[in-house]
Amino acid sequence: MAMTTGGGGSNMADINVTPMIDILLVLLIIFMVIVPVTPKGLDALVPQPPKDPQKEPPKTDRTIVVQVFYHAGAVPTYKINDTDVDRRDLLPRLTEIYANRAERVMFVRGDDDLNFAYIADVIDVGRAANVDHIGLMTPKIQAGQ
Q: What is residue 40's predicted lDDT score, i.e. its pLDDT?
A: 66
Judged by phi (left if over 0) then psi (alpha if -120 to 50, else beta), residue 9 lies in left
- Decide if 52 is inside a domain: no
pLDDT tens sequence across 105-140 = 999 998 888 888 899 999 999 999 989 899 888 766
Residues 135, 76, single domain; the answer is yes
Residues in contact with 78: Cβ distance below 8 Å, sequence separation at least 6, in sequence order: 66, 67, 68, 69, 84, 85, 86, 87, 90, 122
pLDDT score of 26: 94
* Residue 13 shares a structural domain with residue 71: no
pTM of the predicted protein model = 0.56
Question: What pLDDT score was predicted for residue 3?
Answer: 56
Do 29 and 94 reside in the same domain of the chain? no
| For range 1-12, the mean pLDDT | 61
Domain annotation covers residue 59: no
Domains held by the chain: number: 2
Nearest of 35, 118, 48, 104 to residue 76 by alpha carbon: 118
Which structural domain range is residue 24 located in?
2-34
Q: Per-residue confidence at 32, pLDDT binned at 50, 70, 90?
A: confident
Question: Would the pLDDT of 49 be above 80?
Answer: no
